[in-house]
Homo-oligomer: A and B are copies of this chain.
Amino acid sequence: MKMNRGGTTPNALLGLLSLGSMSGYDIRQLIPRSIGHFWSESYGQIYPGLKRLAAAGLVEKKTQRQKGKPDRHVYSLTPEGRAHLQEWLKLPVAEKVPRSELLLKVFFGAHVLPGVSREHVSAVLERHEAALKMNEASDPQLPYWLMTLNFGRHRSAAIVKWCRETLTELERLERTQQGGK
């Protein structure tokens, strides 16, 4: 009960179950290949979350016996669950400030040698250049899937651009020794 407002996590679970019936374990495995670039959930959220959704009648649980392995608990969306998901999708988006440890460290970079910040930025640059290459490889056809994939591309491209500019500036600071400590 008390499944009315807020709570993005339960709705994310409903969304994933809308792609097909799954166990908690399956959900965890699916995340990196679907919403992984902009959402993540741990087992500690998934298992208790599914339990609560079942108690609220938004999902249905079926147990499959298996030899040698623990039982599989497969969850499916109920009509009420699907309706709940739709209602949530209609609610205005509440985006919160994304927290970035990288930017915090760059912002306070004057307290360390510019080379320190340079290392941080370089690491992020590499990661996002790799992400862009990965992105070229995969190609799902579903339009909504494509839109979010495309977001990842734009995001990585912007980060790569910023990293390059910032590295240039940090190298300049290193040469002129204006970087502080």
Instruction: Identify the A interface with B (CB < 8 A).
Output: 8, 11-12, 15, 18, 34-40, 82, 85-86, 89-90, 92-112, 116-117, 119-120, 123-124, 142-148, 150-151, 154-155, 157-159, 161-162, 165-166, 169, 173, 178-179, 181
Contact = CB atoms under 8 A, between A and B. Distances in A.
A34 B37 CA distance: 27
Contact of A120 (B86, B92, B146): B92
Contact of A143 (B100, B144, B169): B169
Given A38-B103, A107-B35, A143 B97 contact: no
B169 A107 contact: no
Contacts of A98: 38, 98-100
Contact of A97 (B39, B89, B102): B39
A90 B104 contact: no
B144 A39 contact: no
Contacts of A94: 101
A98 B120 CA distance: 18
Among A11, A97, A102, A117, which residue has the most Cβ atoms of chain B within 10 A? A97
A26 B123 CA distance: 34
Given A89-B109, A169-B147, A104 B12 contact: yes
